[in-house]
Structure 1
């Protein structure tokens, strides 16, 4: 049900959780199918158009990552109508975390890597010390992430092997103690999936690295906070980061494979910092 409003169409574009959708676009067509106006929402998700000729119009609201919504507007002699709040649902039915900062919780997250050994089995390792921040933007594709990993915290369950991995043959943690990742962009890759483009700095070498990211959902935690869960994977070539050490065993088989499969299971807490648990 619309009400009269002087000065064109007025609408507030919102998610189901009540968040503004500032990147939404409102398109208005007349009964003949001719476009009458096309306007982008403000940072507060508000759209106010110029006055229109009296009559019935079709209104369609679109936004990246959301299913389009259609509505009918009846414009009176005053030239306007108030459409109220037009609610957009995430494409695929997945609601993203509320916009703002999110802090990665290392205690409930894991950063692991898998390498092939002797062409037969896999060696699994994980980093025990890391942290980072995710900034969820009003426009999801403008979101960003930064993470820092302490290279010396590598743990494969074998002390001698871990010592070698920390050496200059591999991570070179004495010279380059920190591994960093900073995103540079995001593109959609399917339902609740994105490709995160970014730069990984490892051993003092910076290379572009894409993460295949899946969003698993958001929910409250026992400490009164709100948590979001993500999973991301990528593959790295050791030679891209000057990790050229290898030992060749019989028949030319390398002891360690040329690629590493990286797996990230991340929980992030809403806010600038992790909560104190007591």
Structure 2
């Protein structure tokens, strides 16, 4: 991987997320004592990066709610149900950027509208630039990583169960994780 370039102009262009080399995941607390990690295995996204003026950049990601995967079939089926993601009525989760700001040499803040279960709220995701490389097929790849914590109740995902010892079965706060490999379009 190369170091972060001072001149971002050569990176200007359209990019497509490579889902085979990217991950969109989440972390929730379970029973107040441990973390459950999961991911969405089906998603697509694209972005335009303006190297001369990062504020002119934009991006969009669409996630298939049915692709939720926590390595437990029963839990995944419950997450797909009306109790959580209600995927029959809301098959997609989307993020559409509204602004991009370079925070320092290796970081960007991407603000946008996150829509879950038909509820849209603004979120700001800090992303770190992980480098640029040309793969064996001649594709220019850019790596980005980011995470943000949201409250699932803000999106109408309110199901829970009280524990006899106090507390609840599923945390309200959910950490969303993004590990992105994007390929510059030819």
TM-score of the alignment, normalized to the shorter chain, above 0.5: yes
| TM class, shorter-length | over 0.9
Kindly report structure 1 stretches of 4+ aligned residues shifted beyond 2 Å.
92-97, 187-191
Offset at residue 93 of structure 1 (A): 5.2
What does 1:1-278 align with in structure 2 at a 5 Å threshold? Answer: 94-96=6-8, 98-137=11-50, 138-271=52-185
Over the residues paired in the alignment, what is the CA RMSD in angstroms?
Answer: 1.6
* 1:149-169 Cα shifts (integer Å, max 9, x gaps): 000000000000000000011
- Between Structure 1 and Structure 2, whose CA radius of gyration is higher? 1
Q: Contact conserved, 2:48 with 2:58, CA < 8 A, in 1?
A: yes
Offset at residue 189 of structure 1 (A): 2.3
Structure 1 unaligned regions, length at least 5? 1-89, 273-278
Counterpart-to-counterpart distance in 2, 1:116 and 1:207: 22
Task: Give the TM-score taking structure 1 as reference length.
Answer: 0.63
Structure 2 unaligned regions, length at least 5? none
Q: Contact conserved, 1:94 with 1:192, CA < 8 A, in 2?
A: no
Higher relative contact order (CA closer than 8 Å, sequence separation 6+): 2
Offset at residue 194 of structure 1 (A): 1.4
**Worse-matched range after superposition: 119-128 or 96-105:** 96-105
Q: Contact conserved, 2:96 with 2:114, CA < 8 A, in 1?
A: yes
- How many residues align structurally? 182
